[in-house]
Amino acid sequence: QVEASGTLGLQPGSKLGALVEEGGRGRVLLVEDRAASAERLVASLSQSHTVDLAGEPDDALFRAATGGYDLVVISSALKGYDALRICSQIRSLERTRDLPILLLAEPDDRARIVRGLDLGVNDYLLRPVDRDELMARVRSQLRRKRYADRLREIMQASLQMAVTDPLTGLHNRRYLESHLGGLIDAAADGDKPLSLMILDIDHFKSVNDTYGHDAGDEVLKAFAERVKTVIRGVDVLCRLGGEEFIIVMPDTSLEVAGRVAERVRQSVGGTAFPIDKGGRHIPVTVSIGISERRNGREADAMMKRADRALYQSKALGRNRVSA
Ligand code: GH3
Ligand code: MG
Ligand code: MG
Ligand code: MG
């Protein structure tokens, strides 16, 4: 097992290395319709793993897709079924694309082994099955899968981090930039309205100047939570940076957006925001600019119009909504 982690180029003792070296029971789906062989295989595999037997190959694909397995072990010589077809179906289904497959092959059927490997079978084993070899090949596939799963998790977590604002936990500007175009396109395709609002906390600099930057941070966090309670689940709330936020509202006309913005403004204005652990609270107001989708793909233009409207709200004395 040390050898295996060496192959993957992992530092000994690293988190990934430890994961790869760890043994652990796997969930194995065995596809074998010959009862005597199935019984022997289940007896061996179940010593170290949890095994389900698909003795009727009809539902092997369905079970592979829904059973949460780590590995499929499949006989190449199923009666009346093309095992390789099942393998290629497993490979082509989204849910099972990365599910490892170990083929139990007949020694005189090299052509099928080659075709299986080309179809995406991960490894094979010649009959008669040697128990130690079976267990070693299963372990090797399970290690590979754990490693791949872990890598995928790490990748997803860093992608998530790249589009998340660490202070508030909201989406950040990068998220908005990669999603606004798509939301506008979807609205245009469905001939639906879409509106957005840009929010900017009033005189926020004086919050920092008066109470300190940490207090300012507390206000930003509580502000984000407050705004969340006023909008719908489909609305996309992002922190653009500083004390500026944006809400993209699918299926929302300018008129409705104006009412939502007014609700947000009043909710913020009516809230006392905590600034420290001592229980001190301060009032805050917010200025808002709204805009609605017009024609085609115009993310930048919509942002500009909302920005201009926000500027107007500021110029007119703050704590108000403009379109
Ligand atoms: P206005 O009503 O015109 O919007 O006035 P303002 O003071 O809110 O606007 P200005 O743009 O002059 O100041 C924004 C302030 O927000 C300045 C900056 O120190 C503060 N700020 C930006 N990001 C953060 C942050 O992450 N935490 C804290 N505490 N303050 C921040
Ligand atoms: Mg600002
Ligand atoms: Mg400003
Ligand atoms: Mg401000």
pLDDT exceeds cutoff 70 at 11: no
Q: What pLDDT, on the 0 to 100 scale, is given for residue 15?
A: 53
> DSSP alpha helices (H): ranges in the chain?
2-7, 15-21, 35-45, 60-66, 83-92, 110-119, 131-162, 173-189, 204-211, 213-230, 254-269, 299-315
Tell me, what DSSP letter sits at residue 107?
T
pLDDT exceeds cutoff 50 at 21: no
pLDDT exceeds cutoff 60 at 18: no
Portion of the chain with pLDDT greater than 90, in percent: 89
Please state the pTM of the whole predicted model.
0.77
Record the tokens describing residue 94, joined without a space. Answer: 């989204």
Ligand 1 atom 22: the closest Cα is on which residue?
242
Model confidence band, residue 222 (pLDDT cutoffs 50, 70, 90): very high
Please give the number of the atom of ligand 1 that sits closest to the Cα of 216: 29
- The total of other beta-carbon atoms located within 10 Å of residue 292's CB is 21
Please give the number of the atom of ligand 1 that sits closest to the Cα of 241: 23
Q: What pLDDT, on the 0 to 100 scale, is given for residue 228?
A: 98
| Number of residues in the chain | 323
- How far lies 88's CA from each of 51, 100, 102, in Å? 22, 12, 13
pLDDT exceeds cutoff 50 at 230: yes
State the average pLDDT over residues 98-107: 96
CA gap 12, 233 in Å, rounded: 45
Which position has the higher pLDDT, 208 or 5? 208
Instruction: Tell me the average pLDDT of the chain.
Output: 93
pLDDT exceeds cutoff 50 at 312: yes
194 in contact with ligand 1, CB cutoff 6 A: no
Verify whether residue 56 is a known catalytic residue.
no
Q: What pLDDT, on the 0 to 100 scale, is given for residue 4?
A: 38
Question: Per the residue annotation, which of 3, 243, 244, 262 is the catalytic one?
Answer: 243
Each residue of 260-310: pLDDT tens digit?
999 999 999 999 999 999 999 999 999 999 999 998 779 999 999 999 999
Map tokens 């007014």 to a residue.
262
pLDDT exceeds cutoff 60 at 165: yes
312 in contact with ligand 1, CB cutoff 6 A: no
289 in contact with ligand 1, CB cutoff 6 A: no
Map tokens 């925001």 to a residue.
273
The answer to whether 252 touches 260, Cβ cutoff 8 Å, is yes
| Ligand 3: centre distance to CA 272 (Å) | 22
Residues 145-158: b if buried by 16+ CB within 10 A, e if exposed: bbbeeeeeeeeeee
Each residue of 182-205: pLDDT tens digit?
999 999 999 999 999 999 999 999
Q: Of the candidates 197, 207, 216, 313, which has an alpha carbon nearest to the alpha carbon of residue 263?
A: 197
State which of 243, 307, 319 you would mutate to test the pocket of ligand 1, scoring each by most atoms of that ligand within 8 A of its C-beta. Answer: 243
